Structure formats: C-alpha cells, structure tokens
Amino acid sequence: MAIKQVICSGTPYEIGHAHGVAGAPEIERALAFYATLFMKHSKLDWPQVQELAKDFEDLIKTRWPRYYEELQGIADGSKRELVDIIALNVRTEIVFGQFSDGCTSLYYQGDGHSYQGQNWDWSEQQAQNLLRVTIIQAAIPTIQMITEAGLIGKIGLNSNGVGVCFNAIRAKGLDKSRLPVHLGLRMALESSSAMEAANTLERIGMASPAHILLGDATTAVGLEFTSSTFARIPINRDGYIAHSNHLLLSHANVCEPAWLDDSPIRLKTMEHNIAQLGARLSWDTYRALFEDETDYPCSINRAADPKSDNTATLFNIVMDLGEKYAEVRMGRPMAGDQGGERLVFAFAENRSF
C-alpha cells in the first residue's frame, strides 16, 4: 500500500485541518493502536490517557499557540476530540518513554557532501498509519517529513537544508512545564540551521528524554536531553555523529535503566562499518550503511521479532543536506532497492549526483 501524501498550507488551523481531513482513517487507526499500547504498557485506559494529555493542553495553548491551533485543526478535520490529538503528540511524555521505538541515526561529512539519515523502527502495525506530510508556511522553511498520522512533528528535511532525526531514550524524568518531544521535532524542522535548532530547544527545555540529530550542510549536533539536562555530541574527528537508543554522554543525576540490549551493538556496528569504508564514502555507500543485518533480527536494518513487540524498520531516510534532497525507502531498506516504496523529497532543482 502506498504511503498517503498530504500537502498542507495556510494558517496553522488550515494546515492542521488539511492534515486531519486527509489523514482521518490513519488517525483513527493510530488512536486505536496507541490505546492498546497504553493499556498494555501502563495499564491506562483511554479516558485515563485523555486526562494525562489534558495536563499539556493549557501549556501548549499558552506557550505555543500556533501549534495548539494546528492540533485543533487536526482534531476538527479528523472529527476527533482535541484531547485525542494532543494525546498522540505527547504519547512519549504520557508513558515516560516506555514505548520501545528503537532506531539508528547518522550524520556524515564526506565526498564533498553532508549526509544525514536514519532507520525508524517501530511496531509493524503502525506502518499503515504513516503519512508523508508537506507543510508550507509564510516566513518559515517548508517542511517535508514522514510522520505518524496526527503528529505535527517527526523526521524529515526543510527547505533550508536542515535535517532532523530522532532516537528514543528511556531515561527517567518528566517535566510537564517543558516542550514535549514531538513538538520539539516540529520546532527543529522549522529552524534555519542546525545550531539554531539546538539553541532553541535548549533555551526552551524538553519535557522528556530523547536524542535529536540536527544537521545542515556545514555542521551537525547530536542533541541528547532529559527533562533536566542537555548534552551536545559534536562531529567527531572522522567526520560523523552516530547514535542509537542510549545516552552516550554524562547527564548528572539522571537514571537510565537498561533497555534495548542491541542499542550498543547497533552503534558499534555502524562505527565499524564506517571505519571499513575509510575514504570511500559516497551516496551509495552511505545508503548501504542502513542495510546492515549484523545481529539479525535486532540489527540496524531491524526485522520483526515477537519478543520485541514485532518492532521492525518501517522506513529509512537518507538526506544530502547541501543538495536539499532526501530519499525515503518505506519498509526495511534492502540492497538494490528491492524493498518497499521509494519517495523523494527535493527542494533544489539540480542535484549533482
């Protein structure tokens, strides 16, 4: 089944309404999917989830009214209650990171290019609820992203050549006065540079833990954060930043329980494969890094395993930030493009490779 494309423009409400109308079936299924997961992982029924989501409603309305209007538009367009759409967008904060979406991300400078990308791993059941969303706003960079239906921020590229990738982190702590993670992803996608995005998120503060990889044609930063700390991972001497699903830097007074045993393995595999490449980096060799099946099925290119809630790679995105160009492979990325549907995000007319 081809992923649905949604193009949104106009006021924040109009943007949300277009998302809600076009994505109504996917939003309905996504709500059912997460209702099941909230019950399974946290013993919360949907009315309890709604009550927890209400804790963020006034915060979003007061501090980020533009996002609040967009969420209202999604709710009206999909004929759902506003609190349902807020619940989707703060699902990370409601369960304190208990949903185990694991993924591997990489920024790499070489071959005269700045590449960024990731595999996004999550339950196969949610694959049918992904949307390709384009958001066109006045005086703000245009966004192209792959997102879960109903979520206003996720993974993608903007017209300034800023790439945004995401890794879930399961550290303890929640601050309901700060910015929810998925709204932070949207804010990053609206930035004019990687460093502007990092500075903005640090200034505001994040409600719960994660890692957001922020890159542009000139530089990148791996922004690790919890509800009380921030730490920046710079580009290393070999020209890259790699991350998976555990904290790499020190965060004072933060407890990070053991979670995905394969997270350090995936990171070491990525680092080993980059070392093997040496100076032979190209668009094709960069893309191939995400096809690795070492430690299968819990590999960089992850396959469904009933022991891990049937989590698999649902899509791969690779970006050339200088060219303002990205390719998305839906499903597991396979050599020779033998996998699923292939999508292109392009903001520049000419591409030099």
Say what the pTM is.
0.96
At 61-73, the pLDDT tens digits run: 999 999 999 999 9
Residue 261 pLDDT exceeds 80 = yes
- Does one domain contain both 214 and 332? yes
The reply to whether 133 falls in a domain is no
Could you tell me the pLDDT band of residue 258, with boundaries at 50, 70 and 90?
confident
Residue 96 pLDDT exceeds 70 = no
At 182-222, the pLDDT tens digits run: 999 999 999 999 999 999 999 999 999 999 999 999 999 99
CA 295 to CA 225: how far, in whole Å? 28
Kindly give the residue spans of alpha helices, DSSP state H, lying in 99-212: 181-189, 194-204
Q: Which one is predicted more confidently, 35 or 41?
A: 35
Residue 171 pLDDT exceeds 60 = yes
What CATH number is given to the structural domain containing 33? 1.10.10.2120
User: What pLDDT does residue 352 have?
Assistant: 42
On average, the pLDDT of the chain sits at 94
Q: Which one is predicted more confidently, 353 or 163?
A: 163
The reply to whether 19 falls in a domain is yes
Between helix 46-63 and helix 65-78 the angle, nearest 10°, is 140
The reply to whether 352 falls in a domain is no
- Does one domain contain both 165 and 184? yes
At 280-295, the pLDDT tens digits run: 889 999 999 999 999 9
- Does one domain contain both 159 and 281? yes
- Does one domain contain both 158 and 48? no
CA 206 to CA 22: how far, in whole Å? 30
The reply to whether 224 falls in a domain is yes
User: What pLDDT does residue 233 have?
Assistant: 98
- Does one domain contain both 179 and 298? yes
- Does one domain contain both 84 and 160? no
In percent, the amount of the chain with pLDDT more than 70 equals 94
The reply to whether 14 falls in a domain is yes
- Does one domain contain both 325 and 194? yes
- Mean pLDDT check: name the lowest of 39-53, 233-247, 304-318: 304-318
String of DSSP letters for 134-159: EEEETTEEEEEEEEETT-S--EEEET
The reply to whether 319 falls in a domain is yes
- Does one domain contain both 234 and 335? yes
- The span from the first CA to the last CA of the chain, in angstroms, equals 29
- 47-59 average pLDDT score: 96
Q: What domain range includes position 61? A: 2-93
Domains held by the chain: number = 2
- Does one domain contain both 59 and 175? no
User: What pLDDT does residue 75 have?
Assistant: 98
Could you tell me the pLDDT band of residue 100, with boundaries at 50, 70 and 90?
low
- Does one domain contain both 260 and 333? yes
3 state SS of 345: strand
Residue 332 pLDDT exceeds 90 = yes
Half-sphere exposure of 49 (CA within 13 A, CB side): 30
In our burial notation (b when 16+ CB lie closer than 10 A, e otherwise), range 168-182 reads bbbbebbeeebbbbb
Could you tell me the pLDDT band of residue 331, with boundaries at 50, 70 and 90?
very high
- Does one domain contain both 191 and 245? yes
Could you tell me the pLDDT band of residue 279, with boundaries at 50, 70 and 90?
confident
User: What pLDDT does residue 339 have?
Assistant: 67
The reply to whether 300 falls in a domain is yes
Q: Which of 102-111, 281-290, 308-317, 338-347 has the highest mean pLDDT?
A: 281-290
- Does one domain contain both 320 and 291? yes
User: What pLDDT does residue 353 have?
Assistant: 37
CA 183 to CA 190: how far, in whole Å? 11
